[in-house]
Structure 1
Amino acid sequence: LDLDGSPATGHLFLSLSLFRLNRLEEAEKSAREALLRKPGFAWAYLVLADVHGRRGEYARQLQNLDAYLKLEPDGPASKQVREVREVVRRIVFRTKDEE
């Protein structure tokens, strides 16, 4: 992954592939590796959000969506991320109210 000159991007694509194969632990590890190599890599936070969402870890998913929006407030996916974030926020606060 380091040979192409953009190791963070390689790890991002690997994490996406692993996510699609439902290999969530490996997908998370690869997305975090992308962030280690390129701090502030907004797209890696979206993969992490997907991983946490699939696991039902909605508070963590919300944190990752917020991280993306902080880095890319007007990015190409920002509108859709805001919509997803609102749904996840409702789930998080509904869950907390039920506890």
Structure 2
Amino acid sequence: MLKGEYSYVDEQLKSQKTFYFNSAKNLDSLVVSYPNSAFKAVQIFRDYDTKPNKIKGFMVLEEFLPRALSTNNYLRKNTVSISETGERVQTGRATCAEQLFY
């Protein structure tokens, strides 16, 4: 399953978010790209628990927290930034306890 979200400023596309979901309807990854740049940011979500996600379905939260889009709760998130030349320029990792602040 796939979901796209586009951000515009003065009718000009500023960013595109592509959400990828796995067969269990959990968010697998989020790719943010910018039309005037080849730079991309990729967030990879994994190690889902089996508990229902209590914030799923809250439309306000879904806009700001990718966690609210999943059926279950992810325990790990990796963030990779990819430069215009295709090189990784930054990698971040977070565990479930750290996710409370995202």
TM bucket, shorter chain: under 0.3
Q: Normalization by structure 1: what TM-score?
A: 0.26
Higher share of residues assigned strand: 2
| Structure (1/2) with the larger helix percentage | 1
